[in-house]
A and B are shown apart, each in its own frame.
Chain A
Amino acid sequence: MSDNVLSGLAEIVEEVAGVAADDVTAEKSFVDDLDIDSLSMVEIAVQAEDKFGVKIPDDELANLKTVGDAVNYITSNK
């Protein structure tokens, strides 16, 4: 798993949802562990698309349950 992607994603999550970047670790669930709602997930996805140059369609976004899911998706679709 890419550490650069993880730390970049953590910065976005901190900016959008106020979760400390250190708490944004691979095994965490966005909804259950980080208390991020669906509206914030849309913001996070848009910022991640810009930051990493990927496309995250809505049906893919729905599958990204954990931070690790998102990092893996971004890494393999960059």
Chain B
Amino acid sequence: MTSGIEVVITGLGATTPLGGDITSTWDALLAGKSGVRPMTHDWVEKYDLPVKIASQLVVDPTEVLPRVEARRLDRSEQVAIVASRQAWSDAGHDDDTVDRQRLAVIIGTGIGGAITLLTQDDLLEQQGLRKVSPLTVPMLMPNGPAAHVGLELKAQAGVHAPVSACASGAEAIAWAYRMIKSGEADVVVAGGAEACITAIPVAGFSQARTMSTRNDEPEKASRPFDTGRDGFVLGEGAGVMVLERREFAEARGAKIYGKLAGIGTSADGYHITAPDPEGVGQSRAIAASLRSGGIDPADVGHVNCHATSTPVGDVAETVAIRKAIGDHPVLTAPKGALGHLLGAAGAVEAIVTVLSIRDGIVPQTLNLENLDPAVTLDVVAGEPRKIKLEAAVNDSFGFGGHNVALAFTPA
């Protein structure tokens, strides 16, 4: 894609286990806080689940949304709405100058409305058909978060919901890039939303042996690249950014956080859950993001990693980074603090990458105490590192072998 159109970021919004908005999340990340806490749900004991911790929202969306609005939305839709309103307002669009036929919404999710599905199934089992909500389907459908945000903003250039597991949020941003580059939209609200901390996802991930069981030390459980890592910590939240055609943003005098210079996507074709240990597909996605952005690998100072704190995945990613970029970028893995937000992860971490470029600072990888000797790259640990960035890449990978890389540069 070589059109002369540039894609810039004008608004950010998020609600995460570190904070109810962008500023609180970013501050907590730099301060070395963890979002991981014990789960208090009764089903943890009921099913004797081996995992008793999760990375849970600090600000419950039902505290922010009007009661009646909240009751019509699945939790994944609630967080999408919360983050989107922040991003839209942050972009200065409250004055409503965008032609709706030039506005798109793309919000991905990994799992969709699992909480609604399970709650309504319980009602059907226990109380019969009459008690099943007529809103069940719009609440559980994975395009629900995108659809509700699209409806609120009256977006008519398109409303889309990529579903590619833990790459969904990044995939949405990549899709936004393509829509703006191809001239289909001037403004795209894009990101990811996930809220599935409930029994069956926890049980399923547990049975796949992918989650940390460091229940006695919740804040230390998520530790990407550390020798003591034993799996990811399930998280919830949403991240949304407003992307615009540069000329459109400049014409309205918008503040610009940075530029989404290039994107790359690929598929492993290797295994349904395991990453290719040689990182071939991942490195192709990273290389493609640099190529489409016209970025020299030598200029990439930083990679915001997908690293989820699983034994195999973290190392494979560093192999891919080395292959596509070299051994010079400085790495961080925000999941040490945030946990794994699944379909929201790529979006929230893309936002972190943008803020790293804006502020010239890379957050530390929380809980990285002993770097895995198989990792031979420079990973920020202990405290944030100041570094002026000419270009930074954000990686996201998902079950299914989906790989997405987003290459950002300064405004």
- Report whether B134 and A42 are in contact in the complex, using a CB–CB cutoff of 8 Å: yes
- Report whether A46 and B68 are in contact in the complex, using a CB–CB cutoff of 8 Å: no
B118 touches A (CB below 8 Å): no
- Report whether A43 and B134 are in contact in the complex, using a CB–CB cutoff of 8 Å: yes
B131 touches A (CB below 8 Å): yes
The distance from the CB of A74 to the nearest CB of chain B, in whole angstroms, is: 16
Query: Among A17, A42, A49, which residue has its beta carbon within 8 angstroms of that of B68?
Result: A17
The distance from the CB of B131 to the nearest CB of chain A, in whole angstroms, is: 7
The distance from the CB of A17 to the nearest CB of chain B, in whole angstroms, is: 6
Query: Among B67, B69, B134, which residue has its beta carbon within 8 angstroms of that of A39?
Result: B134
Docked Cα-Cα span, A17 to B67, in Å, equals 10
- Report whether A18 and B133 are in contact in the complex, using a CB–CB cutoff of 8 Å: no
Measured between beta carbons, the chain A residues less than 8 angstroms from B134 are: 38-40, 42-43
- Report whether B131 and A18 are in contact in the complex, using a CB–CB cutoff of 8 Å: no
B373 touches A (CB below 8 Å): no
Most B Cβ at <10 Å: residue of A17, A46, A49: A46
Measured between beta carbons, the chain B residues less than 8 angstroms from A17 are: 68
- Report whether B133 and A43 are in contact in the complex, using a CB–CB cutoff of 8 Å: yes
The distance from the CB of A47 to the nearest CB of chain B, in whole angstroms, is: 10
Docked Cα-Cα span, A39 to B68, in Å, equals 13
- Report whether A18 and B135 are in contact in the complex, using a CB–CB cutoff of 8 Å: no
The distance from the CB of A35 to the nearest CB of chain B, in whole angstroms, is: 11
Docked Cα-Cα span, A18 to B67, in Å, equals 8
Residues 37-66 (chain A) with a chain B CB within 8 angstroms: 38-40, 42-43, 46, 49
Main SS of the interface on chain B?
helix
B4 touches A (CB below 8 Å): no
**Hey, what's the 0/1 contact readout for B117-131 against A, CB within 8 Å counting as 1?**
000000000000011
Name B68's closest neighbour in chain A (CB-CB): A18
- Report whether B66 and A18 are in contact in the complex, using a CB–CB cutoff of 8 Å: yes
How many residues of B are counted as interface, with CB atoms below 8 angstroms from the partner's CB atoms?
9
Name A43's closest neighbour in chain B (CB-CB): B134
Measured between beta carbons, the chain A residues less than 8 angstroms from B69 are: 18
Measured between beta carbons, the chain A residues less than 8 angstroms from B130 are: 46, 49
Name B132's closest neighbour in chain A (CB-CB): A46
Docked Cα-Cα span, A18 to B135, in Å, equals 16
Most B Cβ at <10 Å: residue of A38, A39, A40, A49: A39
Measured between beta carbons, the chain A residues less than 8 angstroms from B135 are: 39, 43
The distance from the CB of B7 to the nearest CB of chain A, in whole angstroms, is: 37
Measured between beta carbons, the chain B residues less than 8 angstroms from A39 are: 134-135
The distance from the CB of A64 to the nearest CB of chain B, in whole angstroms, is: 16
**Hey, what's the 0/1 contact readout for B54-71 against A, CB within 8 Å counting as 1?**
000000000000111100
The distance from the CB of B73 to the nearest CB of chain A, in whole angstroms, is: 13
Measured between beta carbons, the chain A residues less than 8 angstroms from B133 are: 43
The distance from the CB of B128 to the nearest CB of chain A, in whole angstroms, is: 11
The distance from the CB of A67 to the nearest CB of chain B, in whole angstroms, is: 18
**Hey, what's the 0/1 contact readout for B133-162 against A, CB within 8 Å counting as 1?**
111000000000000000000000000000
The distance from the CB of A34 to the nearest CB of chain B, in whole angstroms, is: 12
Measured between beta carbons, the chain B residues less than 8 angstroms from A40 are: 134
The distance from the CB of B130 to the nearest CB of chain A, in whole angstroms, is: 5
Residues 69-84 (chain B) with a chain A CB within 8 angstroms: 69
Name B131's closest neighbour in chain A (CB-CB): A46
Residues 316-340 (chain B) with a chain A CB within 8 angstroms: none
Name A17's closest neighbour in chain B (CB-CB): B68
Residues 20-42 (chain A) with a chain B CB within 8 angstroms: 38-40, 42
Q: What 3 pairs across the A-B complex have the smallest Cβ distances?
A: A18-B68, A42-B134, A39-B134
Q: List 11 A-B contacts (CB under 8 A).
A: A16-B68, A17-B68, A18-B66, A38-B134, A39-B134, A39-B135, A40-B134, A42-B134, A43-B133, A43-B134, A46-B131
Apart from A18-B69, A43-B133, A49-B130: 14 A-B pairs, beta carbons within 8 A: A16-B68, A17-B68, A18-B66, A18-B67, A18-B68, A38-B134, A39-B134, A39-B135, A40-B134, A42-B134, A43-B134, A43-B135, A46-B130, A46-B131
